[in-house]
């Protein structure tokens, strides 16, 4: 009886430690290259019909709106931004290869705004640097 209790306790502790390692600060303030500072904020997705043509990044009202879909435990979130003259690159979280991700398929949305109050130009090219996609 004691052996099962210890095994269950050890397994429970391992799960908690593993889950803690999978958390990501979804409202981080990364260091940025290119001379601008940005705020990355996750915003609710009111509804999504599964139409993948709505995924990606657009500039809307001076803010970059990034929408992705995937595992809720390993979401494709922007973790940093690099600004160039005519481009802004969104760098997506690179989870360790041994990370166990759930098989669900849910949307996430983030808004990237400049902290200096200036708008992103509507004609700027937004590049998505995703570590698991070519």
Find out whether 109 and 65 touch, Cβ atoms under 8 Å. yes
Selected residue with higher pLDDT from 61 and 25: 61
**34 pLDDT tier (thresholds 50, 70, 90):** low
CA distance 105 to 68: 10
- Average pLDDT over the chain reads 81
Q: What sign results for the dihedral spanned by CA atoms 87, 107, 118, 94?
A: negative
CA distance 44 to 42: 7
The residue-averaged pLDDT of 48-62 equals: 92
pLDDT digits (tens, 9 = 90+) for 85-127: 899 999 999 999 999 999 999 999 999 999 999 999 999 999 9
Q: Check whether 134 has a pLDDT greater than 90.
A: no
User: In this predicted structure, what is the pLDDT of residue 33?
Assistant: 52
pLDDT more than 70, % of the chain: 74
Q: Check residue 45 and give its pLDDT.
A: 92
């Amino acid at each position: 009886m004691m052996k099962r209790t210890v095994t269950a306790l050890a397994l429970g502790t391992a799960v908690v430690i593993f889950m803690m390692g999978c958390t990501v600060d979804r409202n981080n303030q990364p260091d940025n290259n290119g001379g601008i500072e940005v705020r990355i904020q996750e915003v609710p997705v009111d509804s999504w019909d599964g139409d993948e043509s709505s995924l990606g990044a657009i500039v809307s009202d001076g803010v970059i709106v990034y929408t992705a879909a995937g595992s809720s435990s390993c979401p494709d979130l922007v973790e940093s931004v690099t600004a160039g003259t005519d481009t802004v690159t969104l760098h997506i979280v690179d989870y360790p290869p041994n990370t166990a991700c759930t098989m669900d398929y849910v949307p996430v949305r983030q808004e990237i705004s400049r902290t200096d109050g200036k708008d992103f130009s509507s004609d700027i090219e937004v590049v998505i640097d995703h570590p698991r996609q070519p």
